[in-house]
Amino acid sequence: MNRKITLLILTAVFMTGCTLIPKYSRPEAPVPADWPDGPAYGDTASIQESPVAYDMQWREFFPDERLREVIDTALGNNRDLRAAALNVERARALYRIQRSEILPIVNAVGSGAKDRLPAFSRAGRDATQEQYSVSLGISSWEIDFFGRIRSLEQQALEHYFATEEARRSTQLLLIAEVANTWLTLAADRDNLRLARSTREAQQAAYDLIKRRYDVGLAPELELHQAQTRVEVTRLDVARFTEQVARDQNALNLLAGTPVAAELLPDALSAVTPPQDVSAGTSSEVLLRRPDVLQAEHLLIAANANIGAARAAFFPRIALFTAFGTASDDLSGLFSSGTDFWNYGARIAVPIFDPRIRPAFNVSKVDREFAVARYEKTIQEAFREVADALAQRGTIADQMAAQQSLVDATAASYRLSNMRYKKGIDTYLTVLDAQRSLYAAQQGLITVRLTKLANQVRLYAVLGGGAANEKK
């Protein structure tokens, strides 16, 4: 008997290797094979000499030790990343549950019953009946002849892989967001420092004009013009003081804990810039981005679900078996001659089930939806990289032009100030020159921040090496 059961189980196991999952082939990427070129993208040849972003770990990309420590803190404490990691654990557990469906569930069952039968039910007199049993067996084990269970297992596995890619994508985005917030804090501190120094200069000019006005050497119009610039810069000081505080709050939120003061940047000029990275020679590098891999795993999962939907058209076969001992006396439960066994099979053939065909159609639509989502993810990734490359190709010219503008407006302010002191020109000319210089200096800070942020963005949109790093 045991040989028959063992043979039946082994035969079932060896006959459950096939599935009805359609053959998967990766859709063609709906983007050009090469990166765009033109005046906006600059000299691509020199850029290609840099290492490809995907192959560089984030600790190599960010050489500033303070920024590294802040990123490390965020990776250990950020709640969004922690939630993403928990989603991975949940998906892994769900996959293990689905995977276990292919194996039989063996239960040990013990039972006991005692019944009182009335007199009319047994020879005209009442009686008490007892029954006890202990058994070990399989109540129902589906034999996966047509791969329904294996298709669902494949689907669960791909969902698990997709969740892992989502975690990696969240980690990469977190690293980029921490770096950008840290750099923005440095830029706003520069703006605050500039606003304070400009206010001091304007206050000194106002005090000078006030003294001249008091002795009748300056008109009232000049006094009010000077006061206007003092108030404007005072407003900027208050505004940038608030913005610096907001930047620190945002950085603390990303880090998941207050960031130590010694890890905060003082100025953009004191920041060690990130390494230069390359986009590579082909847009095929996008296929290794975490979000693209996530979309592809979801596509493969939808493809596997078609196999399960197809299997629903075919019979489902289940085995059951048990062996144990039974007795009408608890003390004799394990006595000789009380053993029993049974085994058998059940088959369910779908004759009429109006849900099967619609479910199959839904599975096919789900796959087409997953294809569209996968292709759109690649298109969005291509656009993000192209935008970052366009900004990178023009940022050097922006920086040179902005620096030249600062130098020119500084010279204009110096000359107009000298002409005013000599009585050749009015104070309005000085105010215009000073306003232009202040705006040009603010613009230079913005361009410097843009250059650094562009390096971070290019690293992130190319699926930087943080996606490969295990925490």
Confidence of residue 17 (pLDDT cuts 50, 70, 90): low
Q: Whose structure tokens read 């984030």?
A: 58
Confidence of residue 466 (pLDDT cuts 50, 70, 90): very low
Q: Highest-confidence range of 142-151, 179-188, 318-327, 340-349, by mean pLDDT?
A: 179-188
**Can you give the pLDDT at residue 250?**
96
Question: What's the rounded Cα separation, in Å, for the pair 445 and 66?
Answer: 21
Q: Which residues pair with 340 in a beta bridge?
A: 324
**Can you give the pLDDT at residue 292?**
95
Question: What's the rounded Cα separation, in Å, for the pair 87 and 80?
Answer: 11
Confidence of residue 146 (pLDDT cuts 50, 70, 90): confident
Cα separation values, 418 from 224, 425, 438, Å? 20, 9, 18
* Position 446, amino acid: T
**Can you give the pLDDT at residue 6?**
53
356-421 and 290-311 are packed helices; what angle lies between their axes, rounded to 10 degrees?
170
At 413, is the secondary structure helix, strand, or coil? helix
Is residue 259 predicted with pLDDT exceeding 90? yes
For residue 444 the two structure tokens come to 């230079």
Question: What's the rounded Cα separation, in Å, for the pair 359 and 306?
Answer: 9
Confidence of residue 467 (pLDDT cuts 50, 70, 90): very low
Exposure string (b/e) for 258-287, b if CB count within 10 Å is 16 or more? ebeeebbbeebeebeebebbbbbeebebbe
**Can you give the pLDDT at residue 44?**
58
| Residue range 96-145, pLDDT digits in tens | 888 888 888 888 888 878 777 665 555 556 667 778 788 888 888 888 88
**Can you give the pLDDT at residue 120?**
57
Higher pLDDT, 362 or 278: 362
Contact 142, 329 (CB under 8 A): no
**What's the helix, strand, coil split of the chain in %, to 5?**
65, 10, 25
Average pLDDT over residues 216-221: 80
**Can you give the pLDDT at residue 144?**
84
Is residue 240 predicted with pLDDT exceeding 90? yes
Contact 143, 318 (CB under 8 A): yes
Is residue 86 predicted with pLDDT exceeding 70? yes
Average pLDDT over residues 339-363: 88
Domains and CATH numbers, the chain: 2-103+144-314+357-468 (1.20.1600.10), 108-142+323-349 (2.20.200.10)
For the residues of 336-398, what is the DSSP string, one character each?
TT-EEEEEEEEEE--SS-TTHHHHHHHHHHHHHHHHHHHHHHHHHHHHHHHHHHHHHHHHHHH
Angle at 469 between CA 45 and CA 185, to 5 degrees: 75
> pLDDT exceeding 70 applies to what percent of the chain?
91
**Across all residues in the chain, what is the average pLDDT?**
87
Higher pLDDT, 142 or 22: 22
Is residue 470 predicted with pLDDT exceeding 70? no
| Residue range 33-51, pLDDT digits in tens | 988 888 888 765 555 567 7
Rg, C-alpha atoms of the chain: 37
For the residues of 177-245, what is the DSSP string, one character each?
HHHHHHHHHHHHHHHHHHHHHHHHHHHHHHHHHHHHHHTTSS-HHHHHHHHHHHHHHHHHHHHHHHHHH
Is residue 337 predicted with pLDDT exceeding 80? no
**Can you give the pLDDT at residue 37?**
87
**Can you give the pLDDT at residue 127?**
66
Average pLDDT over residues 342-361: 88
Confidence of residue 471 (pLDDT cuts 50, 70, 90): very low
**Can you give the pLDDT at residue 40?**
87
Contact 53, 181 (CB under 8 A): no
Instruction: Single out the residue of 398, 384, 409, 406 nearest to residue 452, CA to CA.
Output: 398
Q: Which residues pair with 112 in a beta bridge?
A: 132
Higher pLDDT, 328 or 341: 341
Contact 228, 202 (CB under 8 A): no
**Can you give the pLDDT at residue 297?**
96
Burial class (CB in 10 A: 0-12, 13-18, 19+), 107: exposed
**Can you give the pLDDT at residue 124?**
56
> pLDDT exceeding 90 applies to what percent of the chain?
54
Confidence of residue 361 (pLDDT cuts 50, 70, 90): very high
| Residue range 151-176, pLDDT digits in tens | 999 999 999 999 999 999 999 999 99
